[in-house]
Structure 1
Amino acid sequence: MSSQQPAPSESPAPVSEKDRVVIFDTTLRDGEQCPGASMTFEEKLEVAELLDTMGVDIIEAGFPIASVGDFESVAEIARRTKRAVVAGLARAVPIDIARAGEAVRHARRGRIHTFVSTSPIHLEHQMRKSQEEVLEIITATVTQARNLVEDVEWSAMDATRTPLDYLARCVEAAIKAGATTINLPDTVGYATPDEYRTMFRTMREKVPNADKAVFSVHCHNDLGLAVANSLAGLEGGARQIECTVNGIGERAGNAALEEVVMALSVRRDVLPYTTGIDASMLTRASRLVSAVTSFPVQYNKAIVGRNAFAHESGIHQDGMLKHNQTYEIMTPESVGVSKTSLVMGKHSGRAAFRDKLKALGYELGENALNDAFTRFKDLADRKKVIYDEDIEALVDQEIAAAHDRIKLVSLSVIAGTRGPQRATMRLEVDGRTLTEEAEGNGPVDATFNCIKALVAHTAKLDLYQVHAVTEGTDAQAEVSVRLEEDGKAVTAKAADPDTLVASAQAYITALNKLMRKRQSLNAQAAAG
């Protein structure tokens, strides 16, 4: 690093309003397209509320034409959101745009985000349209959207593989038709930072009416360059970044919101831009999205990973003891991470538990708090030391199970070298208590066989993974399970000091997700 880098404690130079970066979060739309990451109606509302509170400028709430459920969630988020613009995505098709307009019409500030492919490979193989036909589509559909709302965003799908001359014609047409934001996405994660920066500079210089719109970046992470490309786009003149919490999204994911925000915060010396995000809520947002999608955050994930502020190397520890800026360029507190890790136990009361949850970034309603506190006390009776990670795993599981139709009541397993392994399970299914006993090729197989006997389904187990939440022989086991049924995949996780109980809970949580997805599809079929 440059020797002239300012220390993290120094106050950055003032940034003008023209260098204010708009944060467009698409966790609820592009993020949910990640296989297995679908969210329920209630979970989407919860995520949207947190995004609004933390200062996200635009929440892309969904793709209203995709399903009845998507339309209803976008419409309800539009009604409830207090500060952010609420956007609905629409293809460059009249029925899509009308549906998106209907979904966001109750928003305090609504946006229609419409897109069409522009690259030669998309036009030839997907659109099967000529360049002139696409230009006509852009004019017609952007005009339609602008007649429904004042705030229209237009995206050139696969912009980074589109010839610049033709891309400029498309941008000019979209702005002329009424687009107020122009998004030039790296749809397949192909661009390098220099290429992406140059594309924006070229558009802003080449397009006569470029000054009438805000330019936006939307980067995918196929080559691990999503955040770098997004920042390069700012240097090219873009002032909106489209991103997702934890970088969740299709294929390798999107630019991670928390990484973008902290890069702009920490490196203001070379990136003189600002956002309206409350960075102290980043960890809380990360944990909520991880909980409702059952997608674990990798330990070494930048900003919000478990090891992001952990130091094991002796050299690093020595430096940290002498001065924390020797190896940390931001403080844990700046992103909402508590330094405390060993303060809770079986003698801790409800008030202390509530304070601990707040410090960890959770705010639960009274009923959810009571349930979580009961489970915490049960865990404290079984485990000598309660780590922050134990509490996080416990609460994440509580959030995920809030709307489950199937619940584990009890499980006992006979295992060992003399076999056969046998499990006895009691489940509550739609309010009825059912009991089953089954054998299996090992205790986990016997446990899962009980579930299959009690709840008929055809789902295939694609993933079963176990790791310890903390150290020690009494550590909680966190189990991740992925089930696939009829081409639909869901992922779930659960934690418990008993690996078999965690396994059963994870499988049941995944099964609940599949049942909700099946219900949603049936409702759409009935409505259709």
Structure 2
Amino acid sequence: LIPDDVTIQVLCQAREDLITRTIEAVSGARRVIFHLYNSTSTLQRRVVFGMSQPEIIGLATRATELVKRYTQPLVDAGTDVVLEYSPESYTATEMDFAVEICAAVMAAWGPTPDKKIILNLPATVEMATPNIYADQLEYFMRALPNRDAAVISLHTHNDRGTGVAASELGLMAGADRIEGTLFGNGERTGNCDLITMAMNLFSQGVDPELYLTDMARIVAVSEACTKIPVHVRQPYAGELVFTAFSGSHQDAIRKGMNHVESGSDEAWEVPYLPIDPADVGGSYRETVRVNSQSGKGGVAFILENYFDVHLPRELLLELSPLVQKESEADGGELKPARIWDAFIRELVEVTGPYQLLDYEVRSVGGEREHCVARLQVAENDVKIEGEGTGPIDAFVNALASTLNESINVVDYQEYALNEGSQAKAISIIKIADSKANKCFGVGISPNTTTAAFKSIIAALNRLWR
């Protein structure tokens, strides 16, 4: 049942009956780490076991000899058995005694540089800052005889909230191996979160040699197995860890993403995003979500990344307060569809006195165009007619000559929303009336001229508000 390239690890107290049962359980495995432990702290020696230091050493060495004797048939049958020993509550143990008992276990087991023992040094209960743990580890490794025959392993808990930090400093002190759990699950406040630990290394350019590119799948499996939900703020894995609601943060992320996409710098440098969300299977779209704290940057990001709509800054300054007001009224986050609806309502399908029904444009010689259009004006069907140097100029002149709507186009941009035969054009126009009142309007249509005319009507309707 266990693939040959998988190493299983079993945990066992230093008791003969448990040792024999555990060895029976691993019979037939290709490679086994047998993890033996007994507590060595001053408190547990005094209160729990009522044993002296020599007695605790005797307990550990006798158990080691039992493991060695009872696993010999497995070794003879081809099983690779590695002993791991933990002086439990290591951080609450006198350092010289921790070295002494581990050296005694090594002597009983007989490791070599080619066949090493694992010495696991647990912070069973966090009792100090991470640097103290690192100092204890450094002292231990300097004092341990036959250091080259041992793999120094770390096993931190999170009682003070620094399980990952303690493990990181322990590595810097010279440790070789880390034990932990997915998302920090474990007894009491849990253990070192291996996901956070690995991704911290990854973010600094160190390959943790773990497959973490489908974080959503890892989260799903963990939640299914433990029945414990992963918190939305869990580093690297939570639903909101790459998400900004703050307006200034959203604006910085948007500009940073544009910088990355320009290809001007190979390094990942985006404000507020320490890693590329795509590296863990995330979406850039989820980096910005809009609520009442968001500004123009958030609105722009949603429109650009979900709908390929790029609005000028001046128009974003008009639209974002409207979106913010809607979010405040709603009392929470606005999904992209709601932002799109607000964009359409406020800038495209604007309620007002005018509605474009149909039109016809034809060339009348040179660069002149003649436009005939039908508008619904309030309850009336009105025909307008005019000429100009292009369709837009002809339409504007028709509005002026028939409806006395004297306007000038002061800004105009047009681009395709998508590609292929189903592509639509978007027209963004800014107009000014005879009193210098200015307003934007947006038109969307498969036909570029229709999009332009619709944007003018939308802008006019906004002027009438």
**TM (normalized to structure 1)?**
0.48
Which of 300, 305, 308 does residue 238 from structure 2 map onto? 305
Aligned length in residues: 266
Q: CA deviation at 1:293?
A: 1.8
Q: Aligned-pair RMSD on alpha carbons?
A: 2.5
> How many angstroms does 1:222 deviate by?
0.7
SS of match in other structure, 2:10: strand
Q: Which residue of 1 aligns with 2:68?
A: 146
State the match for 1:316 in structure 2.
249
State the 1:107 CA deviation: 2.2
**Aligned match of 1:328 in 256, 260, 273?**
273
Amino acid at match of 2:139: T
Question: Is it true that 1:170 corresponds to 2:101 in the alignment?
Answer: yes
Q: Give the 3-state SS of the residue equivalent to 2:123 in structure 1.
A: coil
Higher-Rg structure is 2
2:176 maps to 1:245: no
2:92 to 161, 173, 176: 161
**C-alpha displacement of 1:340:** 6.0
Question: Contact conserved, 2:153 with 2:175, CA < 8 A, in 1?
Answer: yes
Evaluate the alpha carbon distance shift between residue 110 and residue 282 of structure 1 in structure 2; reply closer, same or farther with a 3 A threshold: farther
Contact between 2:85 and 2:120, CA under 8 Å: does it hold in 1?
yes
**Contact 1:216 / 1:238 at 8 angstroms: preserved in 2?**
yes
Kept after mapping to 1: 8 A contact 2:7/2:31: yes
Structure 1 residues 283 and 236, CA gap change in structure 2 (3 angstroms): farther
Aligned with residue 111 of structure 1, among 5, 30, 33: 33
Alpha-carbon distance in structure 2 between the residues aligned to 1:282 and 1:107 = 30
SS of aligned partner of 2:133: helix
Identity value in percent = 31
Deviations along 1:401-437, whole A, 9 cap, x unmatched? xxxxxxxxxxxxxxxxxxxxxxxxxxxxxxxxxxxxx
Specify the alignment match of 2:301 in structure 1. Answer: none
**CA 1:320 to 1:145, structure 2 compared with 1: closer, same or farther past 3 Å?**
same
* CA distance in 2: counterparts of 1:317 and 1:284, whole angstroms: 27
Distance 2:103 2:207 in 1: 28
Shift of 1:300: 1.0
267, 270, 275: which is aligned to 2:208? 275
Q: Secondary structure at the match of 2:213?
A: helix
Matched, 1:296 2:229: yes
CA separation in 2, counterparts of 1:162 and 1:213?
20
Structure 2: tracts of 5 or more residues without a match = 72-79, 112-116, 258-269, 287-331, 336-465
Q: Secondary structure at the match of 2:122?
A: coil
Per the TM alignment, residue 275 of structure 1 is displaced from its structure 2 partner at its CA by 2.7
Which stretches of structure 1, 4 residues or longer, exceed 6 Å deviation after superposition?
A: 469-472
Structure 2 residue 193 is the aligned partner of structure 1 residue 262: no
Match of 1:438 in 2: none
8 Å contact from structure 1 (residues 84, 109) kept in 2? yes
Does the aligned pair in 2 maintain the 1:97–1:112 contact within 8 Å?
no
- In the TM superposition, what whole-angstrom CA distance separates every residue of 1:135-182 from its partner, at most 9, and x where no partner exists? 111112122223416301000110001011111101111222226100
Q: Render the CA deviation track for 1:171-215: whole Å, top value 9, x for unaligned.
A: 111222226100010001223211111111111111112221100
Bigger RCO of structures 1 and 2 (CA < 8 A, at least 6 apart): 1
Q: TM-score, normalised by structure 2?
A: 0.54
- Secondary structure (helix, strand or coil) at the match of 2:249 reads helix
Q: 1:207 to 1:225 in 2, by over 3 A?
A: same
Relative to structure 1, the CA distance from residue 321 to residue 159 in structure 2 (aligned partners, 3 Å threshold; closer, same or farther) is same
Amino acid at match of 1:171: C
Matched residues in 2 for 1:225 and 1:89: separation? 24
Q: Match for 1:136 among 58, 63, 68?
A: 58
SS of the equivalent of 1:106 reads: coil
Change (3 A) 1:314 1:471: closer
Structure 1: gaps spanning 5 or more residues: 1-78, 342-468, 473-528
**Which whole-Å CA distance do the structure 2 matches of 1:211 and 1:198 have between them?**
20
Structure 2: distance between partners of 1:106 and 1:286 = 32
